[in-house]
Amino acid sequence: MSPLAAADSPTLADFGSDPWWIVLIKVVGVFVVLVLMTLFAIVFERKVVARMQQRIGPNRVGPRGSLQSLADGLKLAFKEDIMPALADRPVYFLAPVIATIPAFLAFSVIPLGPTVSIFGERTPLQLTDAPIGVLVVLACSAMGVYGIVLGGWASGSTYPLLGGLRSAAQMVSYEIAMGLSIVAVFLYAGTMSTSEIVAAQADGIPLFGGAVTGPSWFAVLLPVSFVIYVTAVVGETNRAPFDLPEAESELVGGFHTEYSSLKFALFFLAEYVNMVTVSALAATLFLGGWRAPWPLSEWDGANSGWWPLLWFFGKVIVALFVFIWLRGTLPRLRYDQFMRFGWKVLVPTALVWILAVATMRTVARESGADVGEVAVFVGVPLALLVVAGLLIASRASNRDTRLAARAAAAGSTTPTVPEVLPPAGKQRPAAGGFPVPPMDLVVPPSPRLGRREPVGAGAPSPQEDADV
């Protein structure tokens, strides 16, 4: 860490010396922040998705519908609590609790701001930190899986069980990709503590002997890690397009099908708190944490006092927006495709990337070149090469589709790919294996056009019309 960043920036030594009432304030503060963020995120999600679908969204409760999730939460609390007859009672009861507690716990190591003064006490705006800070988040998300898995199992019903099984496989697989994506950050920051990772992103990296400073956010320095992290946490939090444990069209409600009332509310709360936590972790690890983004950071006061809370939550909300954007845009994956993507794309890419990053670090250290120069002269050409290779590969693999599309645009109705099965039995008008509506339909007479001639048999079909 450079002396420039050290002014208000907390280090590991600053933790563990708070008086009890400050700890209490921080604990309550983290809890309140998470609950408020959940309430906000639900309304935000519904509003954003509505806007993406040309709707208005919730607009009844509170100003512009902003209290909708509060009303929904209250309503949920007064619903009937159902215990299925086949449920395993203790586990059924415990599952939502197990899902919720780690979700809240994980936020305790997220740094919200620099050292500030609370009633005269100088203390970092972070509940706690440890040398293994980020691993605490990973451990909590590993525990959160139990809530979903056990909820699915204890319900004593088929769909929840399937949802539980899916989530067990999914979350364990994507946690590996998530953990691997963070490794490169550890390598660059030289620490696992969240507050020190934020500090490591404080100053721009000097390029060309310090004449220019480049961006120091790990999202820019380690773009592959960032992309893998973002992809993996979507799977980790069971959000669309990776929401297979609760795929409505396949599993009704997935693991929480049998849950109602407050227990369901706890699952819901856990999902959104997890979303906020991984967004906050993304901001901490890759987007500079609570530090102000570039144009703002020119102002001296931007990184001291309570202002950083604003930048931090701004980044978190941007990350939440990306979650919602994905949900509004992408269709759900098929389960096998999803698992293949995790194991055969994300994990190997992450491993190769770690190898590349470690090599670059070593080369930079051995040759005495600074990190920025290595990144510019080695990283950028390599990245261009890889991107070009990927473009060519994807173009080659889509060749058939492209040719077929061109042929179809030219008016061809015969598929370029030979049929798999020869048409067996009764011939159906299936053009190349695609459904064809009956061509001899007539429009029935409308009852509202009583006096007029019914448009019916004998009328030329549009097809013939066009030919004439």
Partner 1 sequence: MTPLAAAAEGVQIGTGEAVAFWILGPIALAGALGMVLSRNAVHSALWLVNTMLALGVFYVVQGAPFLGAVQIIVYTGAIMILFLFVLMLVGRESSDSVVETLRGQRVAAIVLGIGFAGLVGAGVARAAEGAVVRGLGEDAGGEGNIHAIAELLFTRYLLAFEVTSALLITAAVGAMVLAHVEREPGERRTQKELSRARFLDGDHPQTLPGPGVYARGNSIALPGRLPDGTQSRLSLATGVEAQQVDELAPTGSLGIEREGLPHAGGTDAALGTADRGEDTPR
Nearest distance in Å: CB 165, partner 1:
6
Nearest distance in Å: CB 87, partner 1:
9
Q: Which is nearer to partner 1, 112 or 145 (CB)?
A: 145
Is residue 169 part of the contact set for partner 1 (CB under 8 A)?
yes
Among candidate residues 313, 332, 312, the one with its CA nearest the CA of residue 234: 332
Q: Name the helix (H) or strand (E) containing 124.
A: strand 121-125
Choose, by CB under 8 A, the member of 396, 421, 457, 468 that binds partner 1.
Answer: 421
How is the chain split among helix, strand and coil, in percent rounded to 5?
Answer: 65, 5, 30
357 contacts: CB under 8 Å, gap ≥ 6: 184, 187, 188, 222, 225
258 phi/psi in degrees, rounded to 5: -90, 0
Is residue 321 part of the contact set for partner 1 (CB under 8 A)?
no
Nearest distance in Å: CB 433, partner 1:
3
Among candidate residues 156, 286, 264, the one with its CA nearest the CA of residue 220: 286
Query: 236-248: buried (b, 16+ CB within 10 Å) or exposed (e) per residue?
Result: bbbbbebbbbbbe
Q: Which is nearer to partner 1, 55 or 334 (CB)?
A: 334
**How many residues touch partner 1 (CB under 8 A)?**
47
Q: How big is the chain by its Cα radius of gyration, in Å?
A: 28
Binding map of partner 1 across residues 112-131, x = CB under 8 A, - = no contact: ------------------xx
Q: Which is nearer to partner 1, 39 or 168 (CB)?
A: 168
Is residue 165 part of the contact set for partner 1 (CB under 8 A)?
yes
Whole-Å CA distances, 439 to 108, 339, 435, 436, 462: 65, 42, 12, 8, 10
Nearest distance in Å: CB 150, partner 1:
7
Q: Which stretch, 84-92, 223-231, 386-394, 458-466, contacts partner 1 (CB under 8 A)?
A: 84-92
Is residue 290 part of the contact set for partner 1 (CB under 8 A)?
no
Q: Which is nearer to partner 1, 74 or 86 (CB)?
A: 86
Binding map of partner 1 across residues 87-106, x = CB under 8 A, - = no contact: -x-xx---------------
Q: Which is nearer to partner 1, 428 or 451 (CB)?
A: 428
Site for partner 1 in 298-317 (CB under 8 A): none
Is residue 348 part of the contact set for partner 1 (CB under 8 A)?
no
Is residue 407 part of the contact set for partner 1 (CB under 8 A)?
no
Is residue 175 part of the contact set for partner 1 (CB under 8 A)?
yes
Residue 64 has which token pair? 């512009």
Please calculate the CA angle 292-133-359 and round it to the nearest 5 degrees.
Answer: 80
Is residue 346 part of the contact set for partner 1 (CB under 8 A)?
no
d(CA 171, CA 183): 18
Choose, by CB under 8 A, the member of 73, 84, 156, 314 that binds partner 1.
Answer: 156
316 phi/psi in degrees, rounded to 5: -60, -40
Q: Which stretch, 110-118, 151-159, 211-219, 323-331, contacts partner 1 (CB under 8 A)?
A: 151-159
- 172 and 145 Cβ atoms separated by less than 8 Å: yes
Among candidate residues 325, 342, 323, 324, the one with its CA nearest the CA of residue 333: 342
Is residue 448 part of the contact set for partner 1 (CB under 8 A)?
no
Q: Which stretch, 108-116, 144-152, 245-253, 305-313, contacts partner 1 (CB under 8 A)?
A: 144-152
Q: Which is nearer to partner 1, 130 or 364 (CB)?
A: 130
Please report the DSSP string for 52-81 in residue order. Answer: HTT-----SSSGGGTTHHHHHHHHHHTS--
d(CA 124, CA 110): 11
- 103 and 277 Cβ atoms separated by less than 8 Å: yes
Is residue 143 part of the contact set for partner 1 (CB under 8 A)?
yes
Site residues, partner 1 (CB under 8 A): 12, 86, 88, 90-91, 130-132, 135-136, 138-139, 141-143, 145-146, 149-150, 152-153, 156, 161, 164-165, 168-169, 171-172, 175, 179, 192, 334, 419-426, 428, 430, 432-435
